[in-house]
Amino acid sequence: METATTGWEEGQRPASRFSEGLRRNLPGYLFLSPWLIGFFCLTLGPALGSLYLSFTDYDLLSAPRFTGVANYVRMATADPNFGAAMRVTFLYVALSVPLKLAFALGVAMMLNRGLKGLPVYRAIFYLPSLLGASVAIAVLWRQLFAADGLVNDLLWTFGIEGPSWISNPNYSLYTLVILSVWQFGSPMIIFLAGLRQIPHDMYEAASIDGASKRRQFFRITLPLLTPVIFFNLVIQTIDAFKAFTPAFIVSGGSGGPVNSTLFYTLYLYQEAFGYFRMGYASALAWVLVAIIAAFTALSFLSTKYWVHYDD
């Protein structure tokens, strides 16, 4: 009888421990519940629904019709706009990300010299990052680079007749690249924080040894700043692939002229809300997810060759 009682008590120990752990952690789960509800209901659930729709023909009006991989086959073989959107997006990423990071690093190094009123300058330079993705700034940018815009007015004062930048397919994408570079505030703040962590003694020792400023930059600043450069590179690359508002406003939602500003996200929007091809748009969205994941994975794999940590 005693043995049976002992066995029953031992059998109940896992359940009692689980109940006790649940009671102890219940306040934490309650505080996490808003995030958990938002994650499962607003992020994971719609994402899985989109994955299913990418294998269907769905127009919002009728029930989804399963078509297998037909959307992906069409994307790869019978959709010229898909290739155009890919070319424009990759060119935009290849130009805007390095230029933005280089400009942000240059401004951060200038601010790191100990300027008076540094918080004011830091706030002023960070302001474009807060405003740059807004519709109002995109509208302003379209006015600046129009045929009769401020940019051409300034060029005319020097006797130069400027083109209609946003209406010319040879220049329209570069106006959006300039807008992206103008939003350098966020990586600049991160670069400035990284520069503040580099010991000043290393620069003093290098100066005593006769190293020039240029040599100090390439031998001290850049190697010690590579973790910050890597972080900014990943974040800005993802943001560049997701760029939408500037292209939509500047081109009037068409991606023109001649698809020169047809960003991938803009083309996805056209397919989803212009032509109501939700199944095909879902497939486009998952291809974008795969592209971003691939670039991020390659960035992490390459860190062992150029990112230097303290160890």
- Cα-to-chain-centroid distance, residue 45: 22
What pLDDT is stored for residue 256 in this prediction? 87
pLDDT at residue number 22:
76
Q: Of 127, 306, 101, whose CA–CA distance to 218 is shortest?
A: 306
Cα–Cα distances in angstroms (integers) from residue 93 to residues 30, 274, 286, 292, in the given order? 41, 25, 19, 11
Question: What are the beta bridge partners of residue 56?
Answer: 66
Distance in angstroms (rounded) separating the CA atoms of residues 195 and 139: 35
Sign, CA torsion 226/90/269/58: negative
The C-alpha torsion from 279 through 285 and 290 to 291, rounded to 10°, is 130
State the pLDDT at residue 8: 44
At 253, list the tokens. Answer: 């939602």
**How many CA within 13 A on the CB side of residue 101?**
20
State the Cα–Cα distance between residues 30 and 47, nearest whole angstrom. Answer: 25
Two tokens, residue 255: 């991606």
CB atoms within 10 A of CB 6: 10
Backbone φ and ψ of 66, nearest 5°: -65, 130
pLDDT at 174: 94
**Helices within 57-216 (DSSP H only):** 70-77, 80-111, 118-131, 135-144, 150-157, 172-182, 185-196, 200-208, 213-216
Q: Is the peptide bond before 34 cis (omega within 30 degrees of 0)?
A: no
The span from the CA of 171 to the CA of 149, in Å, is: 15
Q: How far apart are CA 144 and CA 152, in angstroms?
A: 8
Backbone angles phi and psi of 252, in degrees to 5: 70, 25
* HSE-up (13 A, CA, CB side) for residue 174: 7
* pLDDT score at 1: 44
| Tens digit of each residue's pLDDT, the chain (311 residues) | 444 444 445 555 656 676 777 788 888 888 989 998 999 999 999 999 999 999 999 998 899 999 999 999 999 999 999 999 999 999 999 999 999 999 999 999 988 887 677 778 778 888 877 776 778 888 888 888 988 888 888 988 888 888 889 888 999 999 999 999 999 989 999 999 999 898 888 888 989 888 888 999 999 999 999 999 999 999 999 999 999 999 999 988 889 889 999 999 999 999 999 999 999 999 999 999 999 999 999 999 999 999 988 65
Yes or no: say if 185 and 133 are a contact pair by the CB < 8 Å rule.
Answer: no
